[in-house]
Amino acid sequence: MRRPFVAGNWKLNLDLSAGRALVAGVAEKLPASLPIDVAVCPTSIYLFPMAKAISGTPIKLGGQNCWHESKGAFTGEVSAAMVKEAGCTYVILGHSERRHTIGPKDADGRIHAETDEMIAAKVRAAMSACLVPIVCIGETLEERDAGHTNEVLRRQINGSLAGVEAASGDSLVIAYEPVWAIGTGRTATPEQAQDAHQYIAALLMERFGSDVAGDIRIQYGGSVKPSNVVELMKCPDVDGALVGGASLKVDDFVGIIEGTIRAKGLD
């Protein structure tokens, strides 16, 4: 079985003292060694101090983004090597909030900032820096309602992983985050999640072959809470969660970690 993986995407939340308090509170409630991987992903300016804060706990660190070039005239950007040097194991790439909500509108009135092509370049840069990218994909409500979910997932998997070579499945994580479930309180049903994850797993098989693809973890993200985590994690192709809002509170994040351990029969 793939080792389940729960990560908290803090987005633009928690100042340094609140981040430290959250990690200390979570670590206090967890055993020193866990049967799953757990990470927190603070904003980049806090990565160095948060690396210190998680030291001695089973919690690992992830960045929320990185640039695809290693150096140069890119004001405001942070390279994959810098994210790694700050103490990160993971980096979230291609989150829908970066694909959709930051940038100019195209001719159809849609806001596109990060394209699949840009995300693929970042994924390649992250892997060269020995970071494990958490590559986010997922359809909007319009795309789901129009019956285009699988087509979108295929386009995003192939596009966001273009030119990516994975020697082993543990060098890459995919997060299926249906855009309509992010921050809305409207979670995908276990059936919807399992269908999408099964399809993504099949796409990864096509892309990387069964040896590698069989070890790539696929997280679900979108309004995951302690109250819905167990039924989601019981789905065979759901290997963990990428959690936004509920990762900002000690009891909720611990509840999600414990629920995942229980659902996967690792307690």
How close are the terminal C-alpha atoms of the chain, in Å? Answer: 15
x/- map, 5-44, ligand 13P, by CB under 6 A: ----x-----------------------------------
- Which residue type, as a one-letter code, is found at position 216? I
Instruction: Work out which of 157, 242, 256, 257 binds ligand 13P, going by CB under 6 A.
Output: 242
Active-site residue, selected from the candidate residues 97, 114, 143, 177: 177
Nearest-angstrom CA–CA distance, 199 and 202: 5
- Which residue type, as a one-letter code, is found at position 96? S
> Considering beta carbons, is residue 149 or 223 the nearer one to ligand 13P?
223
From the CB of 176, what's the least distance to ligand 13P, in Å?
11
Q: Which two tokens stand for residue 245?
A: 């809002």
Catalytic (active site) residue 197: no
Which pairing describes strands 37-41 and 59-63: parallel, antiparallel, or unpaired? parallel
Q: Which two tokens stand for residue 231?
A: 């039924």
x/- map, 43-82, ligand 13P, by CB under 6 A: ----------------------------------------
> Considering beta carbons, is residue 87 or 240 the nearer one to ligand 13P?
240
Nearest-angstrom CA–CA distance, 73 and 210: 40
Catalytic (active site) residue 191: no
x/- map, 205-224, ligand 13P, by CB under 6 A: ----------------xxxx
Nearest-angstrom CA–CA distance, 126 and 133: 6
> Considering beta carbons, is residue 160 or 208 the nearer one to ligand 13P?
160
- Which residue type, as a one-letter code, is found at position 229? V
Tell me the CA distances in angstroms from 264 to 22, 36, 65, 79, 259, one per residue in order: 25, 10, 29, 35, 9
Active-site residue, selected from the candidate residues 95, 114, 143, 258: 95
Q: At what angle do helices 226-233 and 250-263 cross, to 10 degrees?
A: 20
> Considering beta carbons, is residue 68 or 95 the nearer one to ligand 13P?
95
Contact 260, 4 (CB under 8 A): yes
x/- map, 152-191, ligand 13P, by CB under 6 A: -------------------------x----xx--------
Closest CB to ligand 13P: residue number? 244
Q: Which residues of the shown chain bind ligand 13P in the complex (CB under 6 A)?
A: 9, 95, 177, 182-183, 221-224, 242-246
